[in-house]
Amino acid sequence: MSSSDTPSSNQDLTPLIGSQTDIAPLGRGGLKPSHEQTADEDADPIEWARIANDPDFRALMRRKFRLVIPATAFFLVYYFLLPLGVGWFPGLMERKVWGAMNLAYLYALSQFLMAWILAGIYVVVASRWDRQQRDLLNKFGVGNR
Amino acid sequence: MSFLAAASTGSHASLWIFLAFVAATLVITWFSARRSRGASAYFAAGRRITGWQNGLAVAGDYMSAASFLGIAGMIAMNGYDGFMYSVGFLVAYLTVLFIIAEPLRNAGKYTMADVLAYRLKPRPVRAAAALSTLTVSLFYMIAQMVGAGVLVRQLIPGVTYEVAVIGVGILMVVYVVFGGMLATTWVQIIKAILLIAGSILLSILVLKRFDFDLGKFFSSLTAITSTTADGQSVTRNFLTPGLIFKNPWDQISLGMALLLGTAGLPHILIRFYTVPDAKTARASVVWAMLIIGAFYIMTTFFGFGAASLLGPDHIQQHGGTNMAAPELARYLGGEIFFAFICAVAFATILAVVAGLTISASTSFAHDFFVNVLHHGREQKPGAEVHIARITALVVGAASIVIAILLGPGVNVAFLVGLAFAVAASANLPVIIFSLYWKRFTTAGAVVGLLVGLASSIVLILISPDFMKTPLFPLKNPALVSVPLGFLGAWLGTILSKEQASLEKFTELQVRANTGLGAEKASLH
């Protein structure tokens, strides 16, 4: 018998109730409702837990945290030193550095450079993560999903 | 009609420039409407926006009239303290870059709540997230609409507050209802280009007056003379901090709202769904940071330039604080340049309100209507987009009515402050916990969202902006409400248990960090 004559084994063979003919079509197409699925059918085709426990994935996560956590702490401290300095050490911040330009203005301006430099470092490092991510997904045969 | 009468006199160049902008955006809307088919096209522009395009659009979505006219005015009237505002608006994007943009793009579909609903119980979490999204978007939108009404009254003679509010409202609804995210994106891109061009021109013209000598420019700021309210003449060094802000805690609280709130603003977050993948989302944050940073550095030149060349007294007599940048343009480049800067200011408002409208309507349709009311299934194909269009119409109408009822006198600064505070206190804690804390639960998310939302609103209602003898001393509540939001999310979590959330954490973690299974760009 060719395979097109018989419904494949993973289809639901229960006759449809209330069909218009006496001879109910054998089985219904499509997915089973979730409560009728066996454990195998219910399984996610992607093995999330295996990827998550893979040493390469753990190493990738560690590398990300090793950059992001100190960088975040740094920019928060660097930023809040501005209102703290201006608020509580006005004498220091009003000191002239270059011509009429004082430390307060220069420090505020340096925040822009700080933000751009941190963003630049992040982009360079993150492009390395992209490659590691691709290798990891290819290792599990899901690189094209 | 006064609108047409003003246009026909011919002397109102700003109206003509503005009408050209409107015509261009309507053409874009028409093309977008023809191209846009299906939910991903409508809500996320088919996820085919490129990195630099999205960077410009994020910048256009973010730099509001409050930044352009408000900060320029603050620097022009009181010097250095206004520039401190500029700094926070850029540094905030490091939070977006490091913590939010990539995981959001990898794990979500259309809204901020997608990331929360991934491993938590979708219905309660989405309902709470939709509530906070709509609150943030509406507060921010009403602030922009009132601002638009007040501005246009000064910028284009013959147009009243009500006409301006209705005009802005109708335009933003047209963009969003017909053109969806694609039209909104291009309106924001054009606006960003116009704003940057206007700022560069203005800065160059200012520096030309000082022979392009920065030393000369800064030394001109050391003695600015202005008249105080009681008629006395004072000379101040405008580079000195502390001329407006006397309480450092106010600055720290505001900084906290900016740094943590930007990464929780729904209309900014949904922009990262319009790009093909997380790598492009990252690139677009960097583009946005370059554009936004360049703009805020230029506030130095046109803010301080207005102080030095015009003087605070002149600005006070010619329309007040918000008119510093346009008046400077008139002084340096004549009527046509004044008209151009006015038109840029109006385009700025339009692009921001369009972004807010689409974020509010996406959240209502996707989070509340489809996922909360109908358990994640569309009643019929296209229902989600259909509901979003109706919501955009309702949101537009509601904000027109509210802006007209509140009238031009309402304090808009507190509305913007509130929007950032709610985003920082309600949205950011739960996004961070759901992405990085395995133990996090639905109860934690709902409690965190509601505590952050409620504490921001209550603290603002008892702040100096609202009460003569305030019960809470700070103008912006973030310093207290952000820790409260985190505390609420933490308490709700440790007092509950959720096995499903624990189990799905690995899946979310893999998705968020590898892009496996992320939403793809449409093919055409």
B441-491 residue pLDDT tens: 999 999 999 999 999 999 988 888 777 888 888 888 999 999 999 999 999
For the packed helices B161-174 and B324-362, what is the interaxial angle rounded to 10 degrees?
A: 40
Q: Given this model, what pLDDT does residue B345 score?
A: 86
Q: Given this model, what pLDDT does residue B290 score?
A: 96
Whole-number Cα distances in Å, B156 to B19, B124, B131, B273, B431: 12, 47, 37, 37, 43
Burial category of B274 from C-beta neighbours within 10 Å (exposed 0-12, middle 13-18, buried 19 and up): buried
Is the predicted pLDDT of residue B231 greater than 90, yes or no? no
Q: Given this model, what pLDDT does residue A94 score?
A: 83
Token reading at B432: 């961070």
Residue with tokens 């959240």: B363
Q: Per-residue DSSP letters for B204-263? A: HHHHHHTTT-HHHHHHTTS-EEEE-TTS-EEEE-TTSTTSS---HHHHHHHHHHHHHHGG
Contact state of A111 with B241 under an 8 Å Cβ cutoff: no
Most confident among B143-147, B226-230, B247-251, B261-265 (mean pLDDT): B261-265
Pair B104, B277: CB distance under 8 Å: no
Contact state of A84 with B95 under an 8 Å Cβ cutoff: no
Banded pLDDT at A13 (limits 50, 70, 90) = low
Q: Given this model, what pLDDT does residue A10 score?
A: 55
Average pLDDT over residues B197-201: 94
Token reading at B232: 């006395």
Whole-angstrom distance, CA of residue B260 vs CA of residue B425 = 8
Question: Which residue in chain A has the smallest CA separation from B92?
Answer: A115
Average pLDDT over residues B511-522: 86
Is the predicted pLDDT of residue B2 greater than 70, yes or no? no
Pair B417, B476: CB distance under 8 Å: yes
Within 8 A of B285 by CB-CB distance, chain A residues are 119
Average pLDDT over residues B86-97: 94
> Residue B303: which of B239, B347, B252 has the closest Cα?
B239
Token reading at B321: 């604080």
Query: What is the Cα Rg of chain B in Å?
Result: 23
Which tops the pLDDT comparison, B353 or B157? Answer: B353
Question: Which residue in chain B has the smallest CA separation from A101?
Answer: B218
Question: Which residue in chain A has the smallest CA separation from B79?
Answer: A105
Q: Which of A93, A99, A137 sits opposite B241 (nearest CB)?
A: A93
CA atoms within 13 A on the CB side of B131: 18
Lowest model confidence (mean pLDDT) among A9-13, B60-64, B152-156: A9-13
Within 8 A of B255 by CB-CB distance, chain A residues are 79-80, 82-83
Question: Which residue in chain B has the smallest CA separation from A143?
Answer: B516
Within 8 A of A126 by CB-CB distance, chain B residues are 102, 282
Contact state of B221 with A100 under an 8 Å Cβ cutoff: yes
CB pairs under 8 A between A and B: 140
A103-130 residue pLDDT tens: 999 999 999 999 999 999 999 999 999 9
Q: What is the CB neighbour count within 10 angstroms for residue B247?
A: 13
Contact state of B516 with A87 under an 8 Å Cβ cutoff: no
Average pLDDT over residues B91-108: 94
Q: Which of A48, A71, A99 sits opposite B218 (nearest CB)?
A: A99
Most confident among A83-97, B45-59, B336-350, B413-427 (mean pLDDT): B45-59
Within 8 A of A120 by CB-CB distance, chain B residues are 286
Whole-number Cα distances in Å, A88 to A81, A93, A94: 10, 9, 12
Residue with tokens 């977006």: B96
Banded pLDDT at B406 (limits 50, 70, 90) = confident
Backbone phi, psi, residue B225, to 5°: -100, 135
Is the predicted pLDDT of residue A22 greater than 70, yes or no? no
Is the predicted pLDDT of residue B10 greater than 60, yes or no? no
Is the predicted pLDDT of residue A74 greater than 60, yes or no? yes
Provide the residue count of chain B: 524
Lowest model confidence (mean pLDDT) among A66-70, A83-87, B52-56: A83-87
Query: What is the Cα Rg of chain A in Å?
Result: 31
Token reading at B303: 């803010």
Token reading at B166: 């209705």
B291-306 residue pLDDT tens: 999 999 999 899 999 9
Most confident among A28-37, B134-143, B229-238 (mean pLDDT): B134-143
Banded pLDDT at B404 (limits 50, 70, 90) = very high
CA dihedral B287, A145, B40, B351 (to 10 degrees): -10
Angle at B453 (CA atoms; ends B449, B459), nearest 5 degrees: 145
The 3-state secondary structure of B336-357, one letter per residue: HHHHHHHHHHHHHHHHHHHHHH
Banded pLDDT at A7 (limits 50, 70, 90) = very low
Q: Given this model, what pLDDT does residue B376 score?
A: 80
Which tops the pLDDT comparison, A14 or B343? Answer: B343
B161: amino acid identity, one letter: Y
The 3-state secondary structure of B358-405, one letter per residue: HHHHHHHHHHHHHHHHCCCCCCCCCHHHHHHHHHHHHHHHHHHHHHHH
> Residue B513: which of A57, A79, A123 has the closest Cα?
A57
Token reading at B282: 């990252």
Q: Given this model, what pLDDT does residue B261 score?
A: 93
The reply to whether the predicted model has a pTM over 0.95 is no
A75-94 residue pLDDT tens: 999 999 999 998 888 888 88
Whole-number Cα distances in Å, A3 to A6, A7, B178: 6, 7, 49
Q: Given this model, what pLDDT does residue B407 score?
A: 84
Is the predicted pLDDT of residue A3 greater than 50, yes or no? no
Q: Given this model, what pLDDT does residue B357 score?
A: 92
Whole-angstrom distance, CA of residue B176 vs CA of residue B390 = 10
Whole-number Cα distances in Å, B138 to A30, A138, B481: 43, 45, 20
Q: Given this model, what pLDDT does residue A20 score?
A: 53
B151-175 residue pLDDT tens: 777 767 778 889 989 988 999 999 9
B429-455 residue pLDDT tens: 999 999 999 999 999 999 999 999 999
Residue B519 β-bridge partners: none
Q: Given this model, what pLDDT does residue B440 score?
A: 95
Is the predicted pLDDT of residue A1 greater than 60, yes or no? no
Mean pLDDT of chain B: 88
Residue of B52, B75, B87 to mutate, testing the A interface (most A Cβ within 10 Å of its Cβ) = B87
Lowest model confidence (mean pLDDT) among A22-36, B297-311, B332-346, B353-367: A22-36
Is the predicted pLDDT of residue B18 greater than 60, yes or no? yes
Which helix or strand (DSSP H or E) is residue A60 part of? helix A55-88
Whole-number Cα distances in Å, B119 to B107, B129, B437, B443, B487: 11, 14, 11, 12, 20
Q: What is the CB neighbour count within 10 angstroms for residue A10?
A: 11
DSSP 8-state code for residue A101: E
